[in-house]
């Protein structure tokens, strides 16, 4: 009986220590229309990609009080080399982007400085925990003058190509469209139209 108890405890400890668990993210940020805020979500995943990179994504959706077919959302995309460690924004393969849709307006932020630190689960690479603390610039709509916005938080995500690639596919076209619009318009032009 004692041997069975010890075995059960070791199995429980091994499972807990491996970092297995559900996906979760808690992100603190500032966004002019929404103000300073913290959002939490369980919609998070990561995947290994070509070029020895992993992509970690998280999204939170909500509907407007009147209800609407297209919900508002905050989407976070983090790309880092596939070797656990601490990386600086600007290092090869390190990208942090935040896409927000709020009351039918779209906003895109891109990290310009800061760091991302992550580690894999203790026994396997099927779960990752990332912490980030970066400063972002608003890429769309292009502001009249440059301003930095803090973005920090933690993402715990299970490896899921289906979930991660699904989120990337859903939001990547919007990111590319806004980046193209931002490079086509002079700084401040979009802000002056409002």
Report domain extents, the chain.
18-185
* pLDDT at site 8: 46
Give the model's pLDDT for residue 21: 65
| Beta strands per DSSP E along 103-181 | 105-120, 127-140, 148-158
Residue 1 confidence (pLDDT): 63
Q: Which two structure tokens, joined as six digits, stand for 165?
A: 């690639």
CB 134 within 8 Å of CB 114: yes
User: Under a CB-based contact definition with an 8 Å cutoff, are residues 181 and 191 in contact?
Assistant: no
pLDDT of residue 72: 85
* Closest to 129 measured CA to CA, from 58, 36, 29, 31: 58
Q: What's the token pair of residue 15? A: 């499972």
Whole-number pLDDT of residue 102 = 84
Half-sphere exposure of 95 (CA within 13 A, CB side): 12
Give the model's pLDDT for residue 2: 62
Which candidate, 179, 171, 191, 157, places its Cα nearest to that of 41?
157
Which residues, including other chains, have CB under 8 Å from residue 120's CB and lie 6 or more apart? Answer: 19, 84, 127, 128
Question: Are the CB atoms for 78 and 96 separated by under 8 Å?
Answer: yes
What are the C-alpha distances in Å from 27 to residues 13, 66, 100, 130, 171?
A: 29, 26, 13, 11, 18
Residue 19 confidence (pLDDT): 46
Question: Which parts of the chain have pLDDT scores under 50?
Answer: 4-8, 10-19, 188, 190-194
Per-residue pLDDT, 33 = 63
């Amino acid at each position: 009986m004692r041997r069975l108890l010890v075995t059960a405890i070791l199995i429980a400890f091994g499972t807990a220590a491996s970092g297995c668990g559900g996906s979760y993210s808690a992100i603190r940020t500032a966004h002019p229309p929404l103000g300073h805020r913290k959002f939490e979500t369980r919609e998070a995943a990561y995947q290994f990609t070509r070029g020895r990179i992993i992509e970690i994504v998280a999204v939170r959706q909500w509907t407007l009080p009147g209800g609407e077919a297209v919900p508002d959302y905050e989407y976070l995309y983090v790309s880092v080399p596939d070797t656990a460690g601490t990386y600086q924004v600007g290092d090869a393969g390190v990208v942090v982007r935040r896409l927000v849709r709020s009351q039918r307006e779209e906003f895109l932020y891109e990290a310009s400085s800061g760091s991302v630190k992550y580690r894999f689960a203790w026994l396997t690479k099927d779960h990752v925990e990332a912490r980030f603390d970066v400063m972002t610039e608003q890429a769309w709509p292009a502001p009249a003058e440059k301003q930095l916005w803090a973005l920090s938080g933690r993402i715990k995500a299970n490896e899921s190509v289906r979930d991660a690639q699904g989120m990337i596919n859903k939001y990547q076209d919007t990111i590319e469209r806004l980046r193209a619009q931002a490079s086509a318009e002079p700084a401040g032009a979009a802000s002056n139209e409002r």
